[in-house]
Amino acid sequence: MSALIAALLIAALVAFVVWLLSGPFRARAPVAAPADSDERRALESAKEAKYAEIRDNETDFRTGKLSDEDFRALNRQLRAEAVEILRAIDELDSQTSVPTD
């Protein structure tokens, strides 16, 4: 009896493994990476990270770890980088909505 259960278990396992892993073997057209959604996500997380950096910079300044001039210079630079990211996001958005014309 337990031998039967064991055999069924093994069969089920093998079937499961084969089913899950055989994707590339079944002649499907390779799924094109939805590059846009990927890129947009990457840009969004870069934007969040940049905002966090700007906030961190301010906290450092407020708690006396940055001198005035260092803070101002770094703040300018970080905000400029954030603007670049926002610009890239906008460009991406406008690109993906164009094909409907």
Partner 1 sequence: MAFAGRIALVLALVVALYGIAAALYGARRGRRDWVDSARRSVYCLAAVLTVAMVILEVAFIRNDFAYNTVANTSSTTTPLLYRAAAMWSSQEGSLLLWVWLLSIWSSVATFITRNRLRDIVPYATSVLLGFGAFFTTLLVFFDSPFAQTHPAPVEGAGLDPLLRNPSMLIHPPMLYSGYTFFTIPFAFAVGALIVRRVDADWIRVTRRFALASWLFLGIGVLLGARWSYYELGWGGYWGWDPVENAALMPWLISTAFLHSVMIQEKRGMLKIWNASLVLAASTLAIVGTFLVRSGVLNSIHAFGASTLGIPFVTLIAVMVAGSVYLVVSRREVLRSEHTLDSLFSREAAFLLNNVVLVALCFVIFWGTFFPLISKAATGTSQLVGVTWFDRYTVPLALILVLLSGIGPVIAWRRATLANARRNFLLPLAAAALMAIAAYTVVPIGSSIGAVVLFCGAVFVFASVGQEFWRGWRARRAMSSESPPVALYSMVRRNRRRYGGYIVHVGIAVLFIGVAASSTFQHEQQLSLRVGQSVRVGAYTMKYVGATGSVVNDPNHTGATMTLGAVLRVTRGGHYVTTLRPSAGYYPAAQILPGQVVAGLISGDAVDQVGLQSSWRRDLWAAIKPLGTTLPALGAPLPEAGLVAQADALVPTTDSTVKQLGLAYYVLLPAIVRHYVNFPPPASFTLIASPLVMWIWIGGLIVLLGGLTAIWPSPAALRSRVRARYLARVAQELGRA
Residues that bind partner 1 (CB under 8 A): 2, 5-7, 9-10, 13-14, 16-17, 20-24, 28, 30-34, 36-38, 40-42, 44-46, 48-49, 52, 55-56, 59-60, 62-67, 70, 92-93, 96-97, 99-100
- Pick between residue 55 and residue 83 the one whose CB is nearest to partner 1: 55
**Residue 41 vs 83, nearer CB to partner 1:** 41
Compute the Cα dihedral for 64, 67, 61, 44 and give only its sign.
negative
Name the strand (E) or helix (H) holding 8.
Answer: helix 2-21
The whole-angstrom separation of Cα 24 and Cα 81 is: 40
